[in-house]
Amino acid sequence: MQRVAITHVAQSSGMESKESLMDFTYRVNKEILDKAGLKRREVGCIVAGSADIFHSGLSCANAFDWDGIGAFLKEGSRAEESAFSFIYGCMRILSGRYETVLVTALVKGSENPDNDPITSFYGDPFYLRPVGVNESVVAAMQMRQYLERYGVTEEQCAKVAVKNLGNALFNPYADRKRRVSLEDVMASERVYDPLKALECAPKSDGVVAVLLASEERAKTLSKKPVWLSGYGCSMDHFHPGDRDLLKGQLPAAAQRAYKMAGIDDPGKQIDVAEVCEPYAFQELLWCEHLGFCGEGQGGRWIDSGMPLMDGALPVNPSGGVLATNPYPARGLYRIAEAALQIKEEAGEHQVGKKVRTALAHSTHGFGGQCHSVVILSA
Amino acid sequence: MGNAVAIIGTGQTKHGRRSDVCYPDLVREAVTAALEDAGITLKDIDGIVLGTMPSMMEGVSSTHFYFAEAMGSVGKPVLKVETCGSTGQSIGHCGFFWVASGMADIVLVVGSEKMSEGDGQATMTTVFDPFFQRTFAAGAPGVFTMQSMEWMYRFKIPEEKGREAAARISVSNHDNAMDNPHAHIRTRVTMEDVKNARIITYPVRLLDVCPASDGACAVIFATGEKARKICRKPAWIKGLGFRGEEFFYGESDKAIWMSATEAAAEAYRQAGIRNPLKELDVAEIYNPFTYQEMIFYECFGFCPRGEAPDYVLKGTFLKDGELPCCPSGGTLCSNPIGATGLIRLAEAALQVTGKAGARQVEGAKLALSHAMGGVDQFNGVTIVGSEL
């Protein structure tokens, strides 16, 4: 079977950019092509990852994206979430029809409304939206259940924010850069009880690009290509009331990815994970669902120091989504960071241990409504 | 050329004003029909691709959540692909690549729109950027009319001749829709009706323009191996192409329209087609406006540039002509935008598998399907055949 690799990565800072979205996008795309020594015309196909009107002020986001991603008169497409665009790019290579695919995810969060009003539009206009449901509200309900069902403490959840914002200090691309203590997190405003302000992701700008290549092409383009070895995705019910918010679809998505990658003991076989945690406690819950620790053990897992930068299984050495949250692009940021760890190109936030297998995770929707899990290998 | 992929089932709703169903139920109707057509169940589906128009049209963002139960995607992998009006073709391409990649055996592709509950023209206006173009955007008719005028002026097509040919296209599409039980507009119109209809944006009149429809379409893709096992007569994917041009309308030449020309050229190259007029048996073109259909004929190489009206007037594209176009009645008679491009593909598949009923073109073996999106910015083409 055909294989697909990430050969190069380029990303922008998550901080507010003064450039127009088109220039902002162009700059990162130019950077990745220069790194690979490729001309635009030499790329087989281009896939964008972006969301429409509420995240960009424009309907049909691909229309505005098209020039900046370099897709003029090239074969291409656009997926609405960046992990989707990544796997669609991989499919194009695996089909044997393209040797290279450029995947770019982009958004300027600084130019559009807060995440809460935007995510309220996930809900239907009849039952959910009128009662004020949005991503943060569902996350708060999910956190309350998590605390009560398993006896995880608020302090244990807050520790995730301390860890990730601490890691972000070593990531030049991070948006929120601030050393915070457990007391700072616990004392920050309760925005949606029990969620505190520092436990919620900011809203960031961000353009990230990965160059994908077929096995043969990857070996000529890069000394250290990073291979896709597993992928899994699974989606939940529409109505939050129809779901057990603590038993979602992530285990199913992870099992698909592990099966494809031949992983049976994820806690041991995965060297580093970039997990999508727009809310601090979700990192703990997701780590349980990914099989890094047992059900309800997320609190003990963070206490043990395992997910710290120098721990046995570092989680979010980049600072994760709590530090940088370009909403529709955040999944591809996780994938790019996981690839950088394998390539040993993560700079100051490169983990101490040797990384052979890395996991990247993306989620969007209410309380993990849809999960994608990507396994990358050296 | 990689793994073989075929369409093993298609399903469409009755398109039109569907106040009898909610939006998810409209989707369910198409999905159920496609599964029945393929003779499989949701259990057999490995992945689901959805596409619609943007959130502003839907009233809900990320519609893959909203349709989770209706598409049967709970617990399954999904992909959400959107490229504006060309979404229908883009999701078909995604279904193709998912299967061709070897990551799935059977993929369900769903496109839908409930236009009676949204504001299509207001949404179209927000495709334009908010600084330079939006203030003078006038929805779809403004753009497409400007393009039609540019095309007629460029090729010195007399206005009366353009008018006559466009009216013929309206009449033949309406005639064809009478044979299509799914079509929204099923009324016969005369040349006089078209020429005397209310002006929308000069010279485009009411009967030159598609309706705003509610509707959904589902198409099931399978590997060659599965297709041969499950399906008596699959429709094989022979070639596909998608191209987009500059975002700012004024930067590209819409009379020549490179995205349409090159999307078709790419699909022809893959399918080994050199003379489309001779080799294709039927074409399902995305024709929301009659004048635009003629520009597509030229871009797709059905006739030389500037000569489409002559070909139309001599009946080349009628159902009994050399290359029947839009035997379904086309986009002109049903336009649930997010589904429309996929409906073109479904209709093409029905034609090459002999399942098109009263709208069947006798002996059709090779068919082109197409969709256009954005402010004249994107074009996607898929070619299907009765044989691999």
Query: Which pLDDT score is estimated for A259?
Result: 98
What is the number of residues in chain B?
388
pLDDT digits (tens, 9 = 90+) for A37-70: 999 999 999 999 999 878 888 898 899 999 999 9
Query: Which pLDDT score is estimated for B1?
Result: 47
Distance between B381 CA and the closest CA of chain A, angstroms: 11
- Which residues make Cβ contacts (< 8 Å) with residue B135, sequence separation at least 6? none
Instruction: Please check whether residue A14 lies inside any domain of the structure.
Output: yes
Tell me the chain B residues in contact with residue A75 when contact means C-beta distances shorter than 8 Å.
Answer: 241-243, 266
Residue B381's SS3 state is strand
User: Measuring CA to CA, how many Å separate A32 from each of A25, A376, B239, B335?
Assistant: 11, 19, 30, 40
Instruction: Please check whether residue A25 lies inside any domain of the structure.
Output: yes
CB contact under 8 A, B259 and A90: no
Query: Which pLDDT score is estimated for A55?
Result: 86
Count chain A–chain B contacts defined by CB atoms under 8 A. Answer: 195
φ/ψ (deg, to 5) at B245: -115, -165
Distance between A162 CA and the closest CA of chain B, angstroms: 32
CB-nearest to B97 from A67, A95, A125 is A95
Asked if B217 and B343 touch (Cβ cutoff 8 Å), the reply is yes
Residue A95 falls in which region: left (phi positive, over 0), alpha (psi -120 to 50) or beta: alpha
β-partners of residue B242 are: B380
CB contact under 8 A, B76 and A91: no
Query: Which pLDDT score is estimated for A297?
Result: 98
Tell me the chain A residues in contact with residue B245 when contact means C-beta distances shorter than 8 Å.
Answer: 66, 72-73
- Boundaries of every domain in chain B: 5-120+212-233, 123-211+240-385
Q: Residue A27's domain spans which residues?
A: 4-113+203-221
- Which residues make Cβ contacts (< 8 Å) with residue A23, sequence separation at least 6? A68
CB contact under 8 A, A59 and B123: yes
> What residue has token string 């309406």?
B174
- Which residues make Cβ contacts (< 8 Å) with residue A44, sequence separation at least 6? A75, A92, A97, A98, A99, A100, A101
Distance between A177 CA and the closest CA of chain B, angstroms: 30
Q: What is the distance between the alpha carbons of residues B332 and B287, in angstroms, rounded to a whole number?
A: 6
> In chain A, which residues have pLDDT < 70?
1
CB contact under 8 A, B2 and A95: yes
Residue B310 burial (C-beta neighbours within 10 Å; 0-12, 13-18, 19+): middle
CB contact under 8 A, B55 and A53: yes
- Which residues make Cβ contacts (< 8 Å) with residue B20, sequence separation at least 6? none
- Kindly give the confidence (pLDDT) of every residue in chain B, 388 residues in length, as a single tens digit, with 9 standing for 90 and above: 468 999 999 999 999 999 999 999 999 999 999 999 999 999 999 999 999 999 888 989 999 999 999 999 999 999 999 999 999 999 999 999 999 999 999 999 999 999 999 898 889 889 998 888 888 887 888 899 999 999 999 999 999 999 999 999 999 999 999 999 999 999 999 999 999 999 999 999 999 999 999 999 999 999 999 999 999 999 999 999 999 999 999 899 999 999 999 999 999 999 999 999 999 999 999 999 999 999 999 999 999 999 999 999 999 999 999 999 999 999 999 999 999 999 999 999 999 999 999 999 999 999 999 999 999 999 999 999 999 9
Asked if B323 and B282 touch (Cβ cutoff 8 Å), the reply is yes
Say whether the ipTM exceeds 0.95. Answer: yes
* Residue of A3, A20, A52 best to disrupt the B interface, most CBs of B under 10 A: A52
CB-nearest to B130 from A57, A77, A234 is A57
CB-nearest to B68 from A61, A91, A237 is A237
Distance between B104 CA and the closest CA of chain A, angstroms: 10
Name the fold adopted by B123-211+240-385.
Peroxisomal Thiolase; Chain A, domain 1 (3.40.47)
- Which residues make Cβ contacts (< 8 Å) with residue A230, sequence separation at least 6? A256, A257, A258, A259, A260, A261, A263, A373, A374, A375
Query: Which pLDDT score is estimated for A57?
Result: 84
CB crowding A113-139: b at 16 or more within 10 Å, else e: eebbebbbbbbbeeebbeeebbbbbbb
Number of domains in chain A: 1
CATH number, domain of A30, equals: 3.40.47.10
Query: Which pLDDT score is estimated for B131?
Result: 86
Segment (H or E) for A29: helix A21-36
User: Measuring CA to CA, how many Å separate B126 from each of B56, B136, B200?
Assistant: 9, 11, 20
Q: Which CATH architecture has domain B5-120+212-233?
A: 3-Layer(aba) Sandwich (3.40)
Q: Are strands B366-373 and B282-284 parallel, antiparallel or unpaired?
A: parallel
CA dihedral A369, A374, A375, B1 (to 10 degrees): 140
Residue B383's closest CA among B356, B344, B355?
A: B344
Q: Do domains B5-120+212-233 and B123-211+240-385 have the same CATH topology?
A: yes
Name the closest residue on chain A to residue B88, using Cα atoms: A77
Name the closest residue on chain B to residue A117, using Cα atoms: B61
Q: CB count, 10 Å around CB of B193?
A: 17
Query: Which pLDDT score is estimated for A320?
Result: 98
